[in-house]
A and B are shown apart, each in its own frame.
Chain A
């Protein structure tokens, strides 16, 4: 497949790995966080960690919107979907995300809520057009990549004067999460970031400048194919070795410095910053998420249905929070591979295929030594 296969050449990946080995200083350790779940998935799927020398380590970051959505927002979506006359349209990734009391959208659907999986915001819009008797709420989540498609649907709903379409907005922003990672007390030590691929097609390279300027951490934006990731790691090693600290763009075939201005303008027209938003694993972060502007309040499901976000606790045995901050690895969690598997996920990092736990379960677990002693009393 064009623009895919060329970036999966194994021989070339091994050659880039040799260059990394030759250039990495054996006297020091390089700790790079891949922010995006897409990178986490690529690193696990292609065994990239095995290609890197022992002193170059990848740390999984919080860049998966399914993983960082807190239990309280899942609960709110389930309550919304349970209201009479409401149809909740959602991306498939969200169906099995655990809410509180073992509930999920999938289980709510099984007991009668009208919840439908859609591939695109435009599919949700189509349901609203075809079923004018129902209130169709689109459960919108995602980083800057997924926000413009929500904006397109809202703009179309406005043009078509659709009175039965609204959005439960959970769009979050990448730079705010990177700042949280860099300012967390006792945070994981980092030498640089592999920056988001598709988020950056929208926002460009400039929003990461603070990582270099304020925190002295280099950022290399990289595509999601294995060679992209390997090249980005080499670029980071070179920056660290040279004592440089800049935002560089490995994914120049799709990312420009200014990003997609048309998408940015549309998002700015329809959305504004929330003062604060709760993230799973990172807590409440200021100015880290979006809500609809007051001029679009009629499309805002939160206002329209009086959605309350009630505090809800994660499963106390689940280490998703620490894993999202890079403090722990999936096998460090007591639930991993015991009660928590992709078939029966307890935490969000196992639900999303881009989550660190799902990636490790699917591709990486056979590299780990087997743990001999089971832990008693840990229930799902």
Chain B
């Protein structure tokens, strides 16, 4: 129920809507819960709404920490 997936914003639409791509699958979603969404952003998509933006730098840092544990 609380599962959500990362989706890439490909187009901004009127009325706080946007088109996103999920690994090639296109979907129209609401971005009313986020400020200043831009094309190219990755968002967490849950029941048709973007809940959060994915921070690319933090994502990289998490992977770096994991890689360090793995060394």
Q: Is A15 among interface residues, defined by CB-CB distance under 8 A?
A: yes
Chain B positions 50 through 69: 1 when the CB is less than 8 Å from some CB of chain A, otherwise 0? 01111110110111011101
Q: Mark A211-226, 1 if CB is under 8 A from B, else 0.
A: 0000000000000100
Given contacts A120-B48, A201-B44, A253-B59, whether A91 and B66 have CB atoms under 8 Å apart is no
Interface SS majority for chain B: mixed
Question: Which residues 239-266 of A sit at the B interface, judged by CB distance below 8 A?
Answer: 250, 252-255, 260, 262-263, 266
Selected contact of A15 from candidates B3, B62, B69, CB within 8 Å: B69
Proximity bits, B1-20, A CB within 8 Å = 1, else 0: 11111101000000000000
Complex: how many Å from CA A125 to CA B63? 40
Are A254 and B33 in touch, CB under 8 angstroms?
Answer: no
How many residues in A have their beta carbons less than 8 Å from beta carbons of B?
57
Q: How large is the interface on B (under 10, 10 to 19, 20 to 34, 35 or more residues)?
A: 35 or more
Asked if A149 meets B62 with Cβ closer than 8 Å, knowing A252-B55, A255-B52, the reply is no
Across-interface contacts of A54 in B (CB, < 8 A): none
Contact yes or no, A152 B30, CB < 8 A: yes
Which residues of chain A have C-beta atoms less than 8 A from B6's C-beta? 1-4
Tell me if A352 is interfacial: C-beta within 8 Å of chain B: yes
Given contacts A149-B33, A198-B2, A253-B58, 16 further A-B contacts (CB under 8 A): A4-B6, A12-B70, A16-B69, A120-B30, A120-B48, A121-B49, A142-B1, A145-B2, A149-B30, A152-B49, A196-B2, A253-B62, A254-B44, A254-B54, A254-B55, A263-B33
A interface residue numbers (CB < 8 A to B): 1-4, 6-7, 11-12, 15-16, 19, 36-38, 41, 63-66, 91, 93, 119-123, 141-143, 145-146, 148-149, 152, 155, 196-199, 201-202, 224, 227-228, 231, 234, 250, 252-255, 260, 262-263, 266, 352, 354
